[in-house]
Structure 1
Amino acid sequence: MKPIILIALFLAAALLCSQPAPREQVGPLPGGGFLLNSGWHVQPAGKQVPLDTFPMATALSRDGRYLLVLNGGYNPPSISVLDTASARELSRVPVADGWLGLAFNPKGDRVYVGGGSRASVFEFTFEQGKLSPARTFVIVPEDKRTNRDFIGDVVFSPDGRLLYAADLYHDSLVVLNPQSGMVIDHIKTGRRPYRILFHPDGKSLFVTSWTDGILGHYDAVSGALLSSVRIGPHPTDMVWDASAGPAEAVEGEARAVARIFVAAANTNNVYSIGITAGKELRLAESINVSMTPRQPLGMTPSALSLSPDGKRLYVACSDANAIAVADISQDRSHVAGFIPTGWYPTAVRVLPSGSVVVLNGRGLRSYPNLRGPNPLRTTEPVHAGVPAP
């Protein structure tokens, strides 16, 4: 009898194993979340606030009450104004074009946008959460503009006297006088300048070079290259950390007094660069944000933010649909965990309250092309083509 039972059990198991897996279809999942057309399952944590297409950058008002978001997807570019207390979009203002650059002036009453293919910087006034278009700082006149004229990141000098804009395809920074709106200088950088970050003393600045894979350090007045550090392929965002970290100085080397964290999108790493009192740069540490020890490239760390206490670093891992949370308070930084996000996070910002804001570049689900293939639509019986005129 026992052999018969064993054979029956074996046949039942074989029958079950031979059954085809349930069909997976792009769309909402029974247990929550969404199955994307890429095969990823996304189910983001926290409250989700609808925005326009491909939000890519944020700027926080001085009082912390308002968060601005630059949208630059297939819809015409726009700026969303969000109330940070209620996490609600208050208004949305169109902008002629925009890519990555979004900044308040130090006074907090004006906002500036890197104008992308318009080769300009757009100015808005800002009062009580209301954005109003103001001036346009034209960098390249329209009749002389080519497809190589493209403006990205924008940053003010700490004293608010000058505005710096990344001129991507000319591998330089444009220096503007915000009073007159006139271009007063150009600073040569590495190829494809991505982000600009000022040293707190205002005398020098740092630029990530997307193509060269370096962090360049430049004199803010003369534009001279002071030093550079090789990071890794496609360095993108960076944040300044006023602490030097807990590690002791290496014998014979000056101790770092601060550090810059730099994300390199074509790696799985964030790099820590130590800065001495004499402004010497030294690669101090690389933080692997992979989910598994031998994971191949593909996390795409592209944006960074520090917690208010400076103990945690939040890393937007765009192709992993997650935020890596790294503990940077120890001798050796390590990833403490991950926060699930929507599709392709492009920016992360920790508010003074401790809330974490994430921009999901592609939203919470995938959509079909408006006139493209649709698996749910019945196939046409005859494809006769278009008659000749």
Structure 2
Amino acid sequence: MFRVLLLVLLASVPAVAQSSVLAGLVYSDTHTRPTASGKDPVEGARVVVRGTAFEATTDTLGMFHFENVRAGKYTLEVSRPGWKTAVATVTVDGSPLPATVQIRLIRRDVVAGSGLVYVAYQQRKGFELKPMRTVPGAVDGGADPLALESNPPRSPRAPVSLQDNPTTGDPDALMLLDAAAPEGSKVEPLQGHPFWLCFNRSGTALYVSTSSQKGRANALEIVDATTHKVLRRLPTAGLVTDLRLSPDGTLLLASVRGASPGVHLIDTAQQLPVGFLPLGVWQPGAAAMGADGLIYVASQNTAGSLLVLSRDGQLVAQARVGLQPTDLILSPDGSRVFVVNSGSGSISVFGRGLVPERVLPVGAQPQKLALSPDGQRLFVTNRSSDSVTVIDVPSLTVWTTVEVGDEPIDVAFSGDGSRAFVTCKGDGTVYFLDGSSGQPLHVTHPQPRSSPFGIAVRP
């Protein structure tokens, strides 16, 4: 009787469902972080098990796992900004061994539209090119991925970020950097050795200055901003030191130094040269046109000078600045001119009529500067002190100085002014800074064979 009762009791107890561990890898084949297996882990991807409360985010190795998953068949959905959503099915059998799955993510195509950041990458000096074309190709050949990196390790002061960007083995290239989702960026190889970048007002054409490398002379290449095909190649009288649009966008000013220093004037409608303003003994660092049509040139001879030229190249005015001026910018209303004095570590500020207002100390060997769209902040790259100086324009005071990567060169603001982007030539990175405070928000992975130089944001 007892035996029968026990059997009845056992039969009345519901069976306990078996459970197990569900684990997986989310990867891509974009070679952001090449491994010997060729599968790049995707960090920061959101993994959801449909119909359950299970949800996780992949770690630095692209891994995720769930515990106490009941036996059954499940559908997993994986998503990440800048990537196409992936769906996979996996069966959990309740055995002691984990159920495993590998899910491949594919990047969305980069939309070459307004707000995209274009970065000119040029071959690192002293780096010998190898017969392989890409880093993944070298890895497939048995090379150690870490040994392929010619750039120094990322600076320890770089901000922590879950976002990655693609890398390329091409020594000269143009990166289309998606600021909202850097991992969805794209790299276009270039034939020339690029330096400075500038868009036309509509954002349909990109001007790229190239140097005399690979048997080519110094030139200005006009590139279709959507197809990235070179539309025209214009020879220049020397090495281009800066590219700048006129206020109405009808002219591109290309300052050149060398045996025949001067300023090229390019018609942006016809994409043809319409003039050249020779500077004689003056070597220009940059040139900009005011709303009145006068052309301001930061130049160096035995001393630094700010030259003011008429449209036909006649000298209208001149003012003394610091040593080795490398850049200048005019305030939107034309009331002030800011000149970067690289050899003096300062910014010269002039009011109307070239009346000196102030000399602001910045970092060592400042290079380029950018004015925020609202005219309130001025960001200055300091090449030798590895920093960016933020100047408050209304008060003409140094707001703060922030550390960035090695040898910052160029800087540009996003269209809304919320971000500033800085190219760091020494360690091969691009820093994203807060457009107001200047604090670092993100830093890109360096390219293995090249360093960033000029930068421009597509209008």
TM-score range, shorter chain: 0.5 to 0.7
1:326 aligns with one of 372, 388, 391? 391
CA 96–216 in structure 1, closer or farther in 2 if over 3 Å, else same: farther
Larger Rg: 2
Aligned to 1:342: 405
1:307 aligns with one of 372, 392, 413? 372
CA contact 1:64–1:84 (8 Å) conserved in 2: no
Consecutive unaligned residues of structure 1, counting only runs of 5 or more, are 1-60, 141-148, 244-256, 291-298, 371-389
In structure 2, what is the Cα distance between the partners aligned to 1:314 and 1:97? 29
CA 164–326 in structure 1, closer or farther in 2 if over 3 Å, else same: closer
Q: Deviations over 1:119-165 (max 9, x none)?
A: 321111013xx52222212347xxxxxxxx43342334344444332
CA contact 2:253–2:288 (8 Å) conserved in 1: no
2:268 equivalent to 1:153: no
In structure 2, what is the Cα distance between the partners aligned to 1:106 and 1:84? 20
2:283 equivalent to 1:192: yes
Q: Which secondary structure state, in structure 2, belongs to the residue aligned with residue 358 of structure 1? A: strand
The within-5 A match list for 1:346-385 is 346-351=409-414, 352-363=416-427
CA 239–156 in structure 1, closer or farther in 2 if over 3 Å, else same: closer
2:325 equivalent to 1:262: no
Aligned to 1:67: 117
Q: Deviations over 1:291-346 (max 9, x none)?
A: xxxxxxxx11111122343232221111111111222322xx32232211010111
Amino acid at match of 2:354: L
Consecutive unaligned residues of structure 2, counting only runs of 5 or more, are 1-110, 125-169, 430-445, 450-459
Aligned to 2:262: 172
Aligned to 1:271: 348
Q: Deviations over 1:66-114 (max 9, x none)?
A: 1111223427432211112224462222333345431111222111112
CA 121–341 in structure 1, closer or farther in 2 if over 3 Å, else same: same
CA contact 2:372–2:417 (8 Å) conserved in 1: no
In structure 1, what is the Cα distance between the partners aligned to 2:300 and 2:206? 25
2:225 equivalent to 1:126: yes
Amino acid at match of 1:307: S
CA contact 2:377–2:390 (8 Å) conserved in 1: yes
The Cα shift of 1:240 comes to 1.9
**Which one scores higher on RCO, CA 8 angstroms, separation ≥ 6?**
2
CA 112–364 in structure 1, closer or farther in 2 if over 3 Å, else same: closer
In structure 1, what is the Cα distance between the partners aligned to 2:184 and 2:304? 36
CA contact 1:99–1:153 (8 Å) conserved in 2: no
CA contact 1:205–1:217 (8 Å) conserved in 2: yes
- Number of residue pairs matched? 269
In structure 2, what is the Cα distance between the partners aligned to 1:223 and 1:337? 38
Q: Deviations over 1:334-365 (max 9, x none)?
A: 22322110101112223224222111111169
The Cα shift of 1:269 comes to 1.0
CA contact 1:263–1:304 (8 Å) conserved in 2: yes
In structure 1, what is the Cα distance between the partners aligned to 2:358 and 2:290? 20
Moved more, 75-84 or 335-344: 75-84
Aligned to 2:64: none
Tell me which protein shows more strand as a share of its residues: 2
Q: Deviations over 1:158-202 (max 9, x none)?
A: 44444332231111122344566554432022522121211134x
TM-score (norm 2): 0.53
Amino acid at match of 1:208: A
